[in-house]
Chains A and B, each alone.
Chain A
Amino acid sequence: MPIETRRRSVLPGFGTTLGFTLAYLSLLVLIPLAGLFLKSASMTAGEFLAAVGSPRALAAYRLSFGAAFAAAAANAVFGLLVAWVLVRYRFAGRGLVDALVDLPFALPTAVAGITLTTLLAKNGLVGRVLEPLGISVAYTPLGVAVALTFIGLPFVVRTVQPVLEDLEAEIEEAAASLGAGRWLTFRRVLFPTLWPALVTGFALAFARGVGEYGSVVFISGNMPGRTEIAPLLIVTKLEQYDYAGATAIAAALLVISFALLLGINALQRFGSRRLVGAGDAA
């Protein structure tokens, strides 16, 4: 081990690259983020709580978190289905479908926003079908959830897919040879291996959905208290030059996002430990 440490130091550039990394990170990310908390700290507790806890703000969080949760749940179900079909079955165009799953990552959110709105508006291709059934999507909370489902679609697929691919055939064979049917094997053998990845994908989609703006503003209708998401409320307050109000809500959103990020990191560590553990056992 001591030899290893000495050998590592043979390589040059540690000071330069780490120095550059820290300086760039601080200037571009850490200091601007600290500025946000500094600004919130300059408010009195009363002002801060009034801005964070106003009925309009509470309604906005409810919508943002509720719609993001619903969308992430939908993606957990359909993402698992898509990942399963892509890994387990062979069919024409599979490669194309697999590549297309990343479209929401690559398509600018504003484009997604206007397209979904056009499709789901009363006279849109899909809206025309749904409207007679009494289902309004555009300019309702449901529209927000649909946009967030689009945005979060790749997360669950891309976290579950590699785990499914790495799954050993032996454990399924063992389950089958012990007399388990496919459904029982899936429930009792496959699903317990998949769920950490599934939860990670869910959390990633949820976190993305909470902060999402571009795809939602077009379809939500932006009615305060009803279809106004938290990021839009920040923009509205900024446009009214209410910097303190915008900052307070942003700080609240940020703290929740960071908590989610830490939770996701812990989940991923837990998931990879489980995989390593399974590998050791095998």
Chain B
Amino acid sequence: MSASQGDWTLAPAAPPRAASAGALEDPAWVRLGLIAGALGFLGLFLVLPLATVFSEALSKGVGVYLAAIADPMALAAMRLTLLVAAISVPANAAFGVAAAWAIAKFEFRGKALLVTAIDLPFAVSPVVSGLIFVLLFGAQGLLGPFLREHDLKIIFAVPGIVLATMFITFPFVARELIPLMQEQGTEEEEAAASLGASGWQTFRRVTLPNISLGLLYGIVLLNARAMGEFGAVSVVSGHIRGVTNTLPLHVEILYNEYQGAAAFAVASLLAMLALVTLVLKRILEWRMGRSASAA
């Protein structure tokens, strides 16, 4: 839009450009063909699956849909998913803020290495993310004998699910905040500090308002992944119904038992979570774009 509009406004002032304006615009048939191609691809790969989740969920009627969602096992899975998110989201958000503060506001050796290390979990297969905790805390694991002695259970129990989820979602907030805080520099915090504000006051009154949108953005993505993670959680969960089944695992069990409509009913909850995530993400992007251009 900006390119072609800029050209339109320029055209009267500089006549020779009028000829090149046509050369910047693709011919209509190219434009329509490319738009049709892109929309066709996205329709087939995104819209059709999304619509299928809801149509399959309601394929046996509203009664089956509601029964699947109100099922005690589904409710237990919901509770566990919420619990896992309630632990891993604040923990990783706190980590992200601390890491971004240290990395963005100070110079130290090995910083590039630290930033790469924070990205590591994104490069690890979800299954491997689960496996490493089985190797540590499982019955055959390094700490297995110790845990058995003290009657502690991590693998095939809730703590393992929380740990695997925390590992998987580890980089989200840090990744969002590090570039943002680096861009914002340190002047405002230095001014606050020179006026006698304590570290905590500086953070709460100066830094936090500046990063709040970016922080929220990271949290929205982190939460979506924490609630939706499947591979890592499936390895450490043990699939004990009503105890260690999260919502995605519950979907898997129902699907494998040929309860398609029920599986899709529970899946539709997760799809709605995804849609809410996309809406929040878009609103935050829009507001960040606004504040960036205003600044």
Contact = CB atoms under 8 A, between A and B. Distances in A.
Contacts of A86: 38
B117 A25 contact: yes
Nearest to A254: B128
A127 B216 CA distance: 40
Nearest to A104: B46
Nearest to A9: B106
Contact of B26 (A36, A95, A182, A210): A182
Contacts of A5: 107
B52 interface: yes
Contacts of A218: 252, 255
Interface in B186-238: 186, 189-190, 193-194, 198-199, 202-203, 221, 224, 227-231, 234-235
Given A11-B186, A36-B128, A106 B42 contact: no
A18 B108 contact: yes
Contact of B24 (A10, A35, A172): A172
B203 to A, nearest CB: 7
A118 B34 CA distance: 29
Contacts of A16: 98
Interface centre among B39, B119, B278 (most CB of A within 10 A): B278
A17 B98 contact: yes
27 contacts: A7-B190, A12-B193, A13-B101, A20-B95, A20-B98, A21-B98, A29-B117, A29-B120, A29-B170, A35-B132, A35-B136, A35-B142, A81-B37, A88-B3, A89-B34, A110-B267, A111-B267, A150-B45, A153-B46, A211-B124, A211-B127, A212-B231, A214-B230, A214-B231, A253-B125, A258-B123, A261-B116
Contacts, number: 304
B278 A99 contact: yes
A33 interface: yes
Interface centre among B17, B124, B186 (most CB of A within 10 A): B124
Interface residues of B, number: 107
Contacts of B282: 95, 99
Contact of B248 (A8, A111, A232): A111
Interface of B: 1-3, 6-7, 16-17, 19-20, 23-24, 26-27, 30-31, 34-35, 37-39, 41-42, 44-50, 52-53, 56, 95, 98-99, 101-103, 105-108, 114, 116-128, 131-136, 138, 140, 142, 163, 166-167, 170, 186, 189-190, 193-194, 198-199, 202-203, 221, 224, 227-231, 234-235, 247-249, 251-252, 255, 260, 263-264, 267, 270-271, 273-275, 277-279, 281-282
- The interface size bin for chain A is 35 or more
A84 interface: yes
A131 interface: no
